[in-house]
Structure 1
Amino acid sequence: MGEVQTKASLDSPALTGTPTAPTPETTAAGIEIATAAFVAAKVAQLVGSAPEALDTLQELADALGNDPNFATTVLNKLAGKQPLDETLTALSGKSADGLIEYVGLRETINHAADALQKSQNGGDIPEKPLFVQ
């Protein structure tokens, strides 16, 4: 009976020394005992093949600028770029004439084409008497 007194109770046992237990599979999700080997395997599975510079949660947080809303921040910044993207898409591959049409300069260019030519030294001024008055 004395030996029974030295055993840990079955209800909430207090273990001393270095107790061992079978290591559960990494897929275990029940009430199995999580051994040090199990925890190490789960951490390795979580870290996976991440580069050394990003293999801790602190390094990941630093890389994301410690922004708890990183995904939202990035999406908002990308959404702000959309009008620029639409403009570039509209201009992409256009000829000079196409660009002139897109920015609405056709009428301005037509008026400039009808303007007086400097090389004529005033020779192309219509109705000169009206001009000199």
Structure 2
Amino acid sequence: KEAMRHLYHGCTKFSRFSFVVNLLHLKLCHRITNSAFTDILKLLAEAFPQPNTLPKSYDYAKNLLKELGLGYESIHVCINNCVLFRKQYAKHDNCPVCGMPRWKDPARKKIPQKVLRHFPLVPRLKRTFLSKKASEEA
């Protein structure tokens, strides 16, 4: 349904979904901050004909992908790739193997040194085989 939803009335080049995916790709490629991305979305919403279906912020755009099973799980990783800070290491602030800190600024503990983005397979398979047509083609 999202792939068929118009970005605005009369737009034939992009669906809401394809436009948001393209914008998020640009955000990633050019390292645009979340707040800058939200500001860009607000500007585009004003520029596009009303009513339009642009998400209001980065969080809304990200949730759109998550609802479709395209989300990811962020996992903190040791800077030297020794361990993943999950399961038994989830609460550790330093790597149990090499001793390197998990955080860029250990006093504030907000920004991890390194992050792995895990794209779970099960939601993608469920989404792929959700419709009978897609199941038959696969």
**TM-score (norm. length: structure 1):** 0.21
Greater helix percent: which structure? 1
Greater relative CO (CA pairs within 8 A, separation 6+): 2
**TM-score (norm. length: structure 2):** 0.21
Greater strand percent: which structure? 2
